[in-house]
């Protein structure tokens, strides 16, 4: 049986690239998710920062075969409960308050805390978390930062988001301690609002064709 602390590895390692999505209109959830699944990107992080987000997670999980919706922007214990009730396969936070860590330990929903510094990383490790979100990745030193973290934290695996792009994806994914990369550039809010599934799908398929064959670390 996979432990909650190992679950992010199981979900994200095969994915390698995860669209970060903001859903404002619930009617956009299913066609957008189908676009990504059809392109070969089944894991998608839906930010819990709109009213539509919980229902979007629920509908994607129920109506889109093969989709793996995870809840992003989880900030509080209440958000964690919302994510679980919506049927998210995992919850992800940009940070790691003590309240949130304690709530995550007490629930069976896989959780990935966010870190920005070695000190924050040491704190979440002490709570049993060895797979973490690195945010905001680009402003904090990019791939060079995680390359430097590899030696002192050999067990830790990272999921960088925040300022990533198709231009630096190859550099991120080449690091043995990076399991997957998240990017909002895969589904810009303006394109979602225009319901431009064709353009979003074309970009996603291009990325899969370029990088999906790279071996996971």
Block means of pLDDT (10 residues each) for the chain, 217 residues, are 69 93 98 98 97 98 98 97 97 96 92 97 95 97 96 97 93 95 96 98 93 53
**pLDDT at 5 (0 to 100):** 64
Predicted TM-score (pTM) of the model is 0.94
Q: How far is CA 71 from CA 1, 77, 198, in A?
A: 22, 13, 24
Question: What per-residue confidence (pLDDT) applies to 213?
Answer: 54
Does the annotation mark 202 as catalytic?
no
What DSSP element (H or E) covers 61?
Answer: helix 53-63
Which residue of the set 6, 45, 191, 202 is catalytic?
45
Positive or negative, the Cα torsion across 193, 15, 160, 209?
Answer: negative
The pLDDT, as a whole number, for residue 6 is: 74
* Sequence spans of domains, the chain: 7-208
Active-site residue identified among 133, 166, 191, 198: 133
Per-residue pLDDT tens over the stretch 101-129:
999 998 889 999 999 999 999 999 999 99
- Return the half-sphere exposure (C-beta side, CA atoms, 13 A cut-off) of residue 207: 29
Sign of CA dihedral 143, 146, 148, 154: negative
Q: What DSSP designation does 178 have?
A: B
Predicted pLDDT of residue 214: 53
CA distance 26 to 132: 29
CATH no. of 7-208: 3.20.20.70
How confident is the model at residue 4, as a pLDDT? 54
Catalytic residue flag (residue 45) = yes
């Amino acid at each position: 049986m996979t432990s909650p602390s190992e679950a992010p590895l199981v979900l994200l390692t095969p994915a390698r690239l995860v669209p970060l999505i903001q859903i404002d209109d619930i009617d956009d959830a299913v066609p957008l998710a189908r676009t990504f699944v059809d392109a070969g990107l089944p894991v998608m992080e839906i930010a819990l920062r709109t009213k539509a987000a919980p229902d979007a997670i629920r509908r994607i999980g129920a109506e889109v075969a093969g989709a793996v919706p995870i809840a992003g922007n989880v900030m509080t214990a209440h958000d964690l409960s919302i994510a679980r009730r919506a049927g998210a396969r995992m919850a992800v936070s940009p940070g790691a308050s003590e309240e949130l860590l304690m709530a995550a330990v007490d629930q069976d929903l896989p959780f990935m805390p966010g870190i920005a510094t070695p000190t924050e990383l040491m704190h979440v490790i002490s709570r049993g978390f060895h797979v973490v979100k690195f945010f905001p990745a680009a402003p904090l030193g990019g791939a060079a930062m995680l390359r430097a973290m590899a030696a002192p934290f050999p067990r830790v695996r990272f999921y960088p988001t925040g300022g990533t792009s198709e231009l630096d994806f190859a550099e991120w994914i080449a690091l043995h301690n990076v399991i997957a990369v998240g990017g909002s550039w895969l589904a810009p809010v303006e394109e979602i609002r225009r319901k431009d599934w064709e353009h979003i799908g074309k970009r996603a398929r291009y990325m899969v064709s370029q990088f999906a064959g790279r071996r996971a670390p």
